[in-house]
Amino acid sequence: MPRLMTFLIAGLLALTMLQPAFAEAKKNKGKHKGAAVERDIGESVAHAVITAAALNIIHDFIRRNGVQVFGPPQGLPPGIAKNLARGKPLPPGIAKRHMPQDLLGRLKPRPGYEWQAVDADIVLVEIATRVIVDILKDILTK
């Protein structure tokens, strides 16, 4: 009988000690999926951020040619404009414009990525996932 009591007490203590671990796992349920996506996007962003050299080329091109060579900006609905951000997919069906070939010829090639003008922004998009890996906000404003 004393052995049985010792065994039961040890079992209850073990369960009591594991309870916080179960509570933490339940609290974070479903968050691991987002964290993995965030980490994957972060790795893409780390490899595809707009470099200072690219930024200088873009600024110089705009200074010499103006913003009109990108075509007229088409305003975005407020909800879509708010969601146009790094790490988020490029919303389908938005009015995006291709970059001028003169500018693309000056920028270092980025295999797997594509430059686009969206409203008054320039975005660098990962082609396979359509995720915005970097964005130059309001660079095409006059």
Residue whose C-alpha is closest to residue 57's, from 108, 133, 116, 99: 108
Cβ contacts of 118 within 8 Å, gap of 6 or more: 76, 84, 90, 94, 95, 96, 97
* Same domain for 116 and 68: yes
Each residue's pLDDT tens digit, 52-61? 999 999 999 9
Each residue's pLDDT tens digit, 101-131? 999 999 999 999 999 999 899 999 999 999 9
Instruction: Residue 79: give the domain boundaries.
Output: 50-142
The owner of tokens 């990525």 is 113
At 91, which CATH number?
A: 3.10.450.160
* Same domain for 83 and 24: no
* Same domain for 134 and 120: yes
Structural domain count of the chain: 2
* Same domain for 44 and 110: no
